[in-house]
Amino acid sequence: MNYRHAFHAGNHADVFKHAALSFVLERLTEKPAPFAVLDTHAGIGVYDLAGDEARRNPEFEAGVGRIFDRGLDAASAYMERLREANGAKLTVYPGSPELIRSFLRERDQLIACELHPEDAARLKARYRRDPRIAVHQRDGYEAVNALLPPRERRGLVFIDPPFEDEAETERLTAALASGLRRWSAGVFMAWYPLTDARVGERLSRAALAGAFPKALRAEFAAYAADEASFRGGGLIVCNAPWRLDEKLRALCEALAGVLGDGRASWRLEQLTPA
Ligand SMILES: C[S@@+](CC[C@H](N)C(=O)[O-])C[C@H]1O[C@@H](n2cnc3c(N)ncnc32)[C@H](O)[C@@H]1O
């Protein structure tokens, strides 16, 4: 396990991914019944943008650094969280568990899994006093099988793997399919990098295997293929909340004007069985 998110936190892909995550969380808080979130690959929660890792190759400058001062009306809840975490000056980046935490009400819960021992220890320490949050040092894919469905009948599974090796797509595809079988009412959100077109295709097929009518595929590339080796990322969302597509469209339009070098592109597709 070499991947450490501290080197990448707040980059252009994080901005797209986390703004989209905030849309789903916002919708979950619209109903009074409690919800549960399983964050399978959680990282450390909050990233110090002045720390060694972030400074070595400051990817955040071309990501959150471009939106922090000017704002992002298309993702106001996400912007609010960035401002709450930072005040007036951008110094930290809230990762997925911290964003999720900020939406939890008294009876909602977050289960966060992180396999890396040091990162899991940091995450545990961060949330040790919050009874709504359980941190497990464990394989997030196994947690999908072991912990779903949660006792709350509504909620989200957020799957954001590092894509360090070839087997990742296979494991993610299997987890998505088995998670949907176990918890057919849950929203599932899985992230993938736009490095190999086959990954998005395979995940789309896995989303459709459960015959879920409300599956969306959204991709945002800050750069053109000949400009950067890491262009951006995609999301597969199963049981997508109503009008998520509209919010994602507005988000992509807004981000295309701010991120990248003027050649950003995006796609949004409602997945339907062939
Ligand atoms: C892309 S980062 C996650 C970032 C985080 N979701 C966020 O948005 O702030 C992937 C994380 O997954 C962890 N990881 C790798 N393999 C894992 C596995 N099988 N189960 C759980 N965590 C894993 C890595 O240590 C890394 O912290």
pLDDT tens digit sequence for 12-63: 999 999 999 999 999 999 999 999 999 999 999 999 999 887 788 889 999 9
> What per-residue confidence (pLDDT) applies to 2?
79
Burial zone of 224 (CB within 10 Å; 0-12 exposed, 13-18 middle, 19+ buried): middle
> What per-residue confidence (pLDDT) applies to 172?
95
> What per-residue confidence (pLDDT) applies to 211?
55
53 CB under 6 A from ligand 1?
A: no
Task: Return the best residue to mutate from 4, 5, 139 for the ligand 1 pocket (most ligand atoms within 8 A of CB).
Answer: 5
Residue 39 is among the residues annotated as catalytic for this protein:
no
142 CB under 6 A from ligand 1?
A: no
Q: Mean pLDDT over residues 88-114, rounded?
A: 98
> What per-residue confidence (pLDDT) applies to 212?
58
162 CB under 6 A from ligand 1?
A: yes
Distance (Å, whole) CA 3 – CA 165: 10
141 CB under 6 A from ligand 1?
A: yes
Q: Find the catalytic residue in 73, 119, 160, 261.
A: 160
Q: What's the pTM? A: 0.97
> What per-residue confidence (pLDDT) applies to 53?
79
Task: Return the best residue to mutate from 41, 118, 191 for the ligand 1 pocket (most ligand atoms within 8 A of CB).
Answer: 41
Q: Residues of 208-221 as b/e, b for ≥16 C-beta within 10 angstroms? A: bebebebbbbbbbb
162 versus 209: the higher-pLDDT residue is: 162
> What per-residue confidence (pLDDT) applies to 245?
96
How many Cβ atoms from other residues are within 10 Å of residue 122's Cβ?
Answer: 16
Cα–Cα distance list, 169 to 58, 142, 166, 172, 181 (Å) = 27, 15, 7, 5, 18
88, pLDDT greater than 80: yes
State the Rg of the chain over Cα.
Answer: 17
Mean pLDDT of all residues in the chain?
94
Q: Mean pLDDT over residues 120-135, rounded?
A: 98
Q: Are 174 and 152 in contact (CB under 8 A)?
A: no
Distance (Å, whole) CA 71 – CA 270: 28
Distance (angstroms) between ligand 1 centre and the Cα of 116 equals 8
273, pLDDT greater than 80: no
Q: Mean pLDDT over residues 95-124, rounded?
A: 98
Cα–Cα distance list, 110 to 95, 129, 155 (Å) = 14, 13, 10
> What per-residue confidence (pLDDT) applies to 1?
72
190, pLDDT greater than 90: yes
213, pLDDT greater than 80: no
> What per-residue confidence (pLDDT) applies to 97?
98
Distance (Å, whole) CA 86 – CA 179: 35
> What per-residue confidence (pLDDT) applies to 3?
82
> What per-residue confidence (pLDDT) applies to 210?
65
7 CB under 6 A from ligand 1?
A: no
pLDDT band, very low/low/confident/very high, at 235 (cuts 50, 70, 90) = very high
257, pLDDT greater than 60: yes
